[in-house]
Amino acid sequence: MPDNDKNIAEEILHNFKTVQVGNSVPASTVSHAIYPVEPHLKTSLLMTILDCTNIASVLVFTRTKDRATRLATQMKKSGFLVISSQGDLPQNKRQEALNLQA
């Protein structure tokens, strides 16, 4: 757990426990990148990056369900194959969305 997250947890939670299974190193097939950008430019930057790279699949996390839905709609209009999966979906619906990508 990153130190910043651990500090926040210690401030908010009482007697919290951390459980770690296995090694916390990302898979070698996963890459991370940060692009500081103004909020109104995020969608166009994302689509430009995806257009310029040869990536089979991408996970994009958004802060809100509404933003995920709006982003998926914009990307579909631009021709991207998009599936929006949100935490409050039943597990079978989330699995169905993942299976469409396979």
**Would 21 be classed as within a structural domain?**
no
- The answer to whether residue 18 is domain-embedded is no
What proportion of the chain, given as a percentage, has pLDDT over 90? 28
Find tokens 């969305």 and name the residue.
97
Contacts of residue 59, defined as CB under 8 A and 6 or more positions apart, other chains included, come to none
Mean pLDDT of the chain: 83
Which phi and psi angles does 40 have, rounded to 5°?
A: -70, -10
Domain count, the chain: 1
Residue 24 lies in a domain: no
Domain that holds residue 43: 29-101
Taking Cα atoms as reference points, which of 52, 54, 72 lies closest to residue 64?
A: 72
Kindly write down the DSSP assignment for every residue of 2-40, as one continuous string: -HHHHHHHHHH-SS------S--PPPTT---------GG
Stated pTM of the model: 0.63
40 inside domain: yes
